[in-house]
Each structure stands twice: as C-alpha cells, then as structure tokens.
Structure 1
Amino acid sequence: MKHVRLPTMTEIIFTLGLFLAIVFSFTVKFDLPIQLALFISWFIFIVLGTRLGYDYKQLQGAITKGISNGLEAVLILIVVGALIGTWIAGGIVPTIIFYGLEFIHPSIFLLATLVICSLTSLATGTSWGTVGTAGIAMMAIGEGMGLPLPLVAGAVLSGAYFGDKLSPLSDSTVLAASMSKVDVIAHVRAMLVLDIPAYIITAILFTISGFIYGGRNTDLEKVEFLKKALLENFDIHIWMLIPAIVVILMLALKQPSMPTIASGALLGTIWATVFQGMDFSKALGTAYSGFSIDTGIKFMDSLLNRGGIEGMLGSIVVIIFGLGFGGLLEHLGVLKVIVSKFQKKLTSAGNITLSTLIVAFLANVFGCAMYVSLILTPKIMQENYDKFYIDRRVLARNSEVGGTLTSGMIPWSDNGIFMAGILGISTFSYLPFMWLSFVSIALAIIYGYTGKFIWYTKKSPVLQQKAN
C-alpha cells in the first residue's frame, strides 16, 4: 500500500494560487464559464492527490462523497427554479411588484425590503426562494422608484440571509448545527444574541439610506407607467397572493421543503391558467423553461423573463463542481494544514473565532459552495473549541456567520452566481451593501475577544488563566 502524506504549504499555495488564476482569467479575461474553470481545477487537485500518494479511485471517491453530502442543495434549487417560473406566469410576483409600487413610500422602501425579505426567509427557510420571488419584486419596485439597484440588492440579501440562518426550516441552519453536533433550536437561540443586534444596526443603516435616496430620484410618471404595464400584461388582484400564503404557511408548519415548494409551483401553474389565461401546457412549461414576455419595458422584461429549472442548470453545475472540489479539499487535508500553521496562536476565544470565520470564508472561496463551507469548517475547527471547552454552540454560530453570510460575496460560488443572476447585477456591485453580513462578522469578532456570549462546557484553561 502506498504511503500517503499531507500536502506541504508550498504545494497548497501553488495549487490554490493556480486555482484562483484559472478562475479569474476565465471569468475576467477570456469570458469563459466559471463551471469550466472549476472542472479543470478538479484535475489540478487530482494531480496533487496522486503526488501525495492517493490513487485515482480514492480521489474520485472523495469527489462523489463531497457531492452526495450537499445534494439536497441541488434538489432545492431545482424546485425553486420551477417556483420562480410559474409564480411570474401566474401573476404572483407581478402582483407583489404592483402593490409595492402602490403602497410603499420611497423613503421607507429599503427598510420595507429588509423586513419583507426577512419575514419571507424566516417563514420559508430558503434565501434562494426569497430572492427569487420577493427579491425580484423588490428590485422592480426599487427601479421604479429610482433607487440605486446595488443598494436595493443589499437590502434584499440582508433580509434573505437573516431569515436563512435563523429559520429552523433552513437547510444551512440545520447543516451548521448538525455538523457541530448541536441541537437546531439551541443553535438558533445562540444565533439570536448576535443576529438581533446585527439586524437592528442593519435596519438603522437602511432606514437612513432610504431617507437619503428615497424621493430624490423618484419619477412618479415612471411608477405609474410601470403599474400600467403590469395591469396590461397581468390580471392583478389580491387573491393572486394565495399561492405565496399557502407555501409560507406550509413551510411554517414544518412541512418538507422540496414537496412544499413544488406544490407552490403547481399552484402557480393553475393560477397562470385560470387567472392569466395561459394554456395549461404552456403554463406548466414555465416550470422548466421559465417565463417569457415582451412588455416593451426593457428593465421589466429583464426581471420577469427568468425562472424555470432550465435557468438553474448553470448554478446546479457550479454546486456539483464546488461540492466535488470541497470533497477533494477535505480528503487531502488542505484547509487542515493551513489551520495547523496557526495552531499555536489559537489560545483564546477571540483567535479561535477569527480563525473559524477565515476558514469558513476560504472554504467558500475554494469550495465554491456554501455547503462545502458548512461541512468543512466545523470538522476542521471542532478540536480547538473542545480543547478550551468552548461550547459547540459557539462553533455552530461562527461557522454559519463565516459560511452562510459570506457565500453570496464570492462571484464564482453557488450563491454568488445565483444571486447575481436573479437580481440582474454583478456580485461586486451589491457586495458593499451586504451590511447584515459585515455587521454580523464584526459582532462575532467582538464577542470572541470580549468573551461576550461565549459559553463554556466547564472551567476552561482560558478562564483559569484569566482568574490567575
């Protein structure tokens, strides 16, 4: 049997540097799909693996294991794509846009966006579903009110991620808790002491921004023009919102996510047939191929012409490649070696917290999928928490802050590609306005170094040193 070893830092720096060079050159210089860059990067790490003593069968097994660990994300994305297509066709999303233009004042629009997306995400447990439905509507309303779209996208994402990492229905919440061996409800309670202050600060920032921008560029004629265009192309009535209410209630009652969202897509198909006058087969087809319309308004068309399983295929491929890549990273011990180089400095809750956030972020950067980060980070960091008797709830919280909240910041990650595609603006455009993420990360670091809301399983060496 061949002797296997861990990679050296030189080998890690070279291979990860080559990975980043391929990703940036493909996306920035050559305008090639990120999926191709990730596929090629598989083989770079396969070569590294063979150099470390592994045979190809073992490395392929690591890839398939990584993919199987996060396959639920693919299933959720498929049904979310179907939901988006049929909800636009059924008039659900257009109705939300219309009533938003009708009733939400520009000065409080950003705050309203944050709250609406938060409530939707809390109730449904999916940031992707929230951005694909309420998020699209908020972007259209914001455009009609003349607000900067990156700022609107920041409010959408802040709300969507707030609910996603607090809802017991969220796959990321469950994954972070289970990988850290923590009860889901205990994890949610541990998140609350960080998320509530972060949410209040974020709400204040968006309220101030709303008063600065709201009304300044609002073109009332444009608002009326958009409303008229919606009325001309869709049957707009309050009962158009019934499918949304049904799905939110079912998810709130802890019904399984995939069949619930799929049933919402079916309701969208029925609504498109009954209320929007579409042929049933064509309405059902929007679940796969997405919705298509020509309203004569370029921005409205770009927001409404989307959805469908077909529209999610690019993101699905990214997730598959990212999960496989993460499986290789874990099998070869890449991140473990990086952490071991800083092991001597991990002597306080603050340093351990900061390291956890960095590891989670790097797992997103190199694993290209939020699931990779939430799977790898607890595995890599758990020994450091146990060594100092820091409660695993702190590990789960830090893993989710560093993993879930930074996933949309990486242009080549599953979340980065999905969010940019759905919202219609680049990742780097909305990145500066992901205020909830930045505030949460800052609070997590402050908690770590001050000892605030850092719980211990028993008298830890850290506390003993302080007492002495």
Structure 2
Amino acid sequence: IGFTGSFEHDGANVEAVLEQIQLNFYISPVLLIVPVLLIVVIVKKMPPLPAILFGVLLGGLFAVIFQPDIIRNVAGDSHGFFMSSYVAVMQAMFGDISILTENEMVNELLTTTGMAGMLDTIWLILAAMVFGGVMESAGLLMRISEAIIKWAHSTGSLVASTVVTSIFFNITASDQYIAIVVPGRMYAKTYRERGYKPELLSRTLEDGGTVTSVLIPWNTCGATQSRVLGVSTFTYLPYCFFNIISPFTTIIIASINYRIRRIGEEDDRDNSMEVKDR
C-alpha cells in the first residue's frame, strides 16, 4: 500500500501529457473562478440542487467561452457555434465524451460516459431505497431489530447492539440512510431512558452505519465507490483501516465507559460550580 516497494515514472510521459493538455486546452488562472465560486456557494450553505445546477451552468459557460476548440471537437463542425455549444455542453453532462489527442494516455483521461455511464449505479440506488422503504413501512426491519434490544443491558452491549443493527441494515436494506435513520429511531428512546446524551447514539450510528456502508458491494455507497474508483469493493476493502476498526473502537470505548456523557451531568457540574462561587 505504499510503505514498501519502488515506484518508477517516466518523466518523458509526464511532459508529453502536459504538452498535449496545453496544446488542446486553454489553461489560465481565470478558470479557477469556477471552483472558487462553488466553494463560496457551499460556504453560504446554498441548497444542494441549486448549488449543483449553478456549478454545471457555470462550468458550461466557461467551457463555451474559453474552450471553443473543444466545443467544436465534441459537437462537430456541422452546426453553428451557438448550436455546437449547446450540443457539446449537453453531451458532456449526460453522454459519452471522447477528446482525441496524439497521446493515448490523455485520450483515456479525457474519455467519460457522463450521467449515462452511472445509470447502473443509479438503478441500484433506487432499488435499494424502494426495498428499504417497503421493509421499514411494513415494520419488518423494526421487528427484527427489537429482538436485539432486549439483550442490551450495559452501555457496551447497547452500543454494540446499535453498531450491529446498523451494519445489518447496511447489508439487508442496501442503503446507508436507512442504516442510520431506522436504528436511530429504534434506539433513541432506549438511550434517552437510560440517561445517555444524544451524542452517544449519533456517534455510534456514524461509526456503525456510515463508515461501514462502503464495505458492502450491493450497498448504494459501496456500489458508487466501486464505480468511481474502478475497482471492486472487495479489492479496496482490506485497505479501509478506519472503516473496519472504527466500529470495534466505539464498542471498546463504550464498554469501559470512557467519556460517556449522561443527561444532567453538565447541569450538576454547573450547579456545583455556582455553589463554590457563592
């Protein structure tokens, strides 16, 4: 994984790639305006859909202004410039794009399938969400998980039950959100009745549901990561140290009651400090 072994790279190949990029694209600091403005809208907490639309439109506009040769390359010469711009931007968003240069490595880098190439993953996500929603609405997931709660008597066992339930939902419901929301609803009352602060449940759901979702091949997160990285889930799984260790660490910390905060502790501490001040 990079701790040992030797790596060689050909400086000539790097120079050839850079040369082809400079020959085919307009490279300027002005193009950094797009990511900078995207960061601004994120900081301003613009809702996701408008922010994505803003980024897409801004990127398309900058492509039309600063990359006219690429626009003609993608759309062809059979259209006028304005029609070519529209065709190229739309094609880049949803379809196959292949920009040909004299370097095979650059050609591979500049070839993409757009949104159409992600349809397999999108179908899986939709199917997982529908399946999980039906299971939750029918009460089947709740019925299965309630049997686990009765065995949780201590802090460690309660946290372990929450982690196992989240992982179970990641495997069966195939969706990270269900693996977080459903156990959260199930265990919220139990955590509250036992006097634990909500942050304990929140942290446990994060360590049990969020980080393990990418380790399940048929989970929406695992499928997406596999598609983006171009490798199977089981190929990168052995190197996901944090994702594997995190659930066990959470259970161990809860078992020894290390910094497990309970409702009313801070209030009691504040009251005692006020008494001392008086």
Give TM-score scaled by structure 2 length: 0.79
Change (3 A) 1:334 1:302: farther
Alpha-carbon distance between aligned partners in 2 of 1:401 and 1:288, rounded to the nearest angstrom: 35
Q: Does 1:243 align with 2:34?
A: yes
CA contact (8 A) 2:149 2:161 kept: no
Among candidates 43, 66, 69, match of residue 252 of structure 1? 43
> Aligned letter for 1:316?
I
Q: Does 1:336 align with 2:127?
A: no
Change (3 A) 1:343 1:374: closer
Among candidates 196, 221, 230, match of residue 21 of structure 2? 230
Q: Does 1:220 align with 2:25?
A: no
3-state SS of 1:345 partner: coil
CA contact (8 A) 1:292 1:305 kept: yes
> Aligned letter for 2:57?
L
- Deviation of the 1:326 alpha carbon: 0.9
Q: Does 1:263 align with 2:54?
A: yes
Alpha-carbon distance between aligned partners in 2 of 1:251 and 1:388, rounded to the nearest angstrom: 38
Alpha-carbon distance between aligned partners in 1 of 2:204 and 2:66, rounded to the nearest angstrom: 47
Alpha-carbon distance between aligned partners in 1 of 2:215 and 2:104, rounded to the nearest angstrom: 27
> Aligned letter for 1:284?
V
- Deviation of the 1:306 alpha carbon: 2.6
3-state SS of 1:389 partner: coil
> Aligned letter for 1:342?
I
- Deviation of the 1:393 alpha carbon: 1.4
Q: Does 1:280 align with 2:85?
A: yes
Alpha-carbon distance between aligned partners in 1 of 2:234 and 2:14, rounded to the nearest angstrom: 28
CA contact (8 A) 2:125 2:175 kept: yes
Among candidates 262, 265, 271, match of residue 456 of structure 1? 262
Alpha-carbon distance between aligned partners in 2 of 1:234 and 1:396, rounded to the nearest angstrom: 47
Q: Does 1:365 align with 2:156?
A: no
3-state SS of 2:112 partner: coil
Among candidates 200, 203, 206, match of residue 400 of structure 1? 206
CA contact (8 A) 2:16 2:103 kept: no
Alpha-carbon distance between aligned partners in 1 of 2:95 and 2:23, rounded to the nearest angstrom: 23
Q: Does 1:384 align with 2:175?
A: no
3-state SS of 2:63 partner: helix
Q: Which runs of 4+ in 1 moved over 6 A?
A: none
3-state SS of 2:248 partner: helix
Change (3 A) 1:395 1:280: same
- Deviation of the 1:304 alpha carbon: 3.6
Alignment of 1:43-62 (within 5 A): none
Bigger shift: residues 382-391 or 318-327: 382-391
Alpha-carbon distance between aligned partners in 1 of 2:107 and 2:230, rounded to the nearest angstrom: 11
- Deviation of the 1:295 alpha carbon: 4.3
CA contact (8 A) 1:315 1:417 kept: yes
Change (3 A) 1:447 1:218: farther
Alpha-carbon distance between aligned partners in 2 of 1:388 and 1:434, rounded to the nearest angstrom: 33
Alpha-carbon distance between aligned partners in 2 of 1:242 and 1:290, rounded to the nearest angstrom: 26
3-state SS of 2:99 partner: coil
- For structure 1, the residue ranges without an aligned partner over 5 or more in a row are 1-150, 152-208, 460-468
- Deviation of the 1:310 alpha carbon: 2.6
Alpha-carbon distance between aligned partners in 2 of 1:290 and 1:447, rounded to the nearest angstrom: 49
Alignment of 1:162-241 (within 5 A): 209=2, 212=4, 216-241=7-32
Paired residue for 1:416? 222
Alpha-carbon distance between aligned partners in 1 of 2:158 and 2:103, rounded to the nearest angstrom: 52
Paired residue for 1:348? 154
> Aligned letter for 1:362?
F
- Deviation of the 1:264 alpha carbon: 0.7
Change (3 A) 1:406 1:232: farther
3-state SS of 1:246 partner: helix
- Deviation of the 1:296 alpha carbon: 6.2
- Deviation of the 1:458 alpha carbon: 4.3
Higher RCO, 1 vs 2 (CA within 8 Å, ≥6 residues apart) = 1
3-state SS of 1:281 partner: helix
CA contact (8 A) 2:121 2:227 kept: no
Give TM-score scaled by structure 1 length: 0.49
Identity of aligned residues (%): 29
3-state SS of 1:445 partner: helix
Alpha-carbon distance between aligned partners in 1 of 2:254 and 2:108, rounded to the nearest angstrom: 44
Q: Does 1:427 align with 2:204?
A: no
The count of aligned residue pairs is 250
3-state SS of 2:189 partner: helix
Change (3 A) 1:370 1:343: closer
